[in-house]
Structure 1
Amino acid sequence: MKRLFILMAFLAFFVGVKAQDEGPQLEYVVELKVKCEGAYQVGQTSHGNRFVIPIVGGTFEGPKMKGTIIPGGADYQLQDNEHGRTEVEAIYSIKTDDGVNIHVRNKGLICTAKDENGNPQFYFRTAPQFEAPQDSKYGWLNNAIFVCQPSFGGNDGTINLKIWKVK
């Protein structure tokens, strides 16, 4: 019995390793166009210099989902100007065109510090997490890791968020 268990564990390990040798792949999911208002400063807190950017609406569209961004969320930023980095955490909700509400928590990093070769850089990436009703057609959002490439949409306070599922 013990030998059978060891053999099964050995096989499971190598089958699992083989499956992971390929590395992750990305599947495009959605683009959000988030409308924001001007930031306000909380000030220097025990965690750093805190800013809040209110989220006032927007839209989203992708192959499997489409809808609007519900006003009332915000992007909570913690700035460390000395080291050229800002931690971001946007918390808001979206509503699909078929009436399903989904909660979003999108954490990430903006970095303007120099790279490992001493060259200036601009790095801005996030990793959104979704909370959808498990019994809805969007329940799959609860069970995956996502990555996001944000970009600024212009002078109107819009930020564009392109999101991929890690496969």
Structure 2
Amino acid sequence: MSDPRVKHLDAITTEHLFDIVIDLKPRLDIGEGPLGRRVLFGAAGGTFEGPRLRGEVLADGGDWALFRPDGTMSLDVRLVLKTHDGALVHMTYGGRWVTPAELRAEIADPVRRYQVDPRSYYFRTTPLFETGSRQYAWLNDIVCVGIGYLVEGGIAYKVAQVV
């Protein structure tokens, strides 16, 4: 039986916002805590580019990742983006990276990890933005989703705005 209060809405749709590549500093392993192993992946730079904005990732911020006992990584990311015309944008996102047990050895291997097909693991994020720039103020009011994957020297995401 369905609840009569439930409304039938259109499917959720998205539009490409940008592709971002984040270069990472060597990891800082904070250690095993009550929730799992905490690791800091510090941002060392990078770039982003899309139809409405482009620029660089500043070397401020990073991912205070939590590796749960079941092997899933919980993301807690804060980054600063600088647009090509000088605006600063604070980007935050959480998410999950679920790697099947049979792929964990490959992902841990510093050489083979970049050859693993991103479709074989689940790496999703939920970016939000904050800026004081009038030109990019529209970012303050949107919700996004992202698909992550490994690249040499860091990580990358395809980010889409939920419309």
Q: TM bucket by the smaller chain?
A: 0.7 to 0.9
TM-score, reference length from structure 2: 0.80
CA RMSD of aligned residues (A): 1.8
How many residue pairs match? The answer is 141
Matches within 5 A, 1:106-125: 106-113=93-100, 122-125=121-124
| Equivalent residue number for residue 10 of structure 1 | none
| Equivalent residue number for residue 158 of structure 1 | 154
Unmatched segments (≥5 aa) in structure 2: 102-119
Q: CA deviation at 1:113?
A: 4.7
8 Å contact kept, 1:83–1:113: no
| Equivalent residue number for residue 132 of structure 1 | 131
Separation in 2 of the partners of 1:40 and 1:74?
A: 11
Q: Which moved more, 1:105-114 or 1:83-92?
A: 105-114
8 Å contact kept, 1:131–1:141: yes
8 Å contact kept, 1:70–1:92: yes
Q: CA deviation at 1:158?
A: 2.4
TM-score, reference length from structure 1: 0.78
1:55 correspondence with 2:26: no
* Counterpart AA for 1:137: Q
1:159 partner SS: strand
Q: CA deviation at 1:149?
A: 0.6
> Highest Rg: 1 or 2?
1
Counting aligned pairs with the same residue, the percent is: 28
Unmatched segments (≥5 aa) in structure 1: 1-12, 115-120
| Equivalent residue number for residue 8 of structure 1 | none
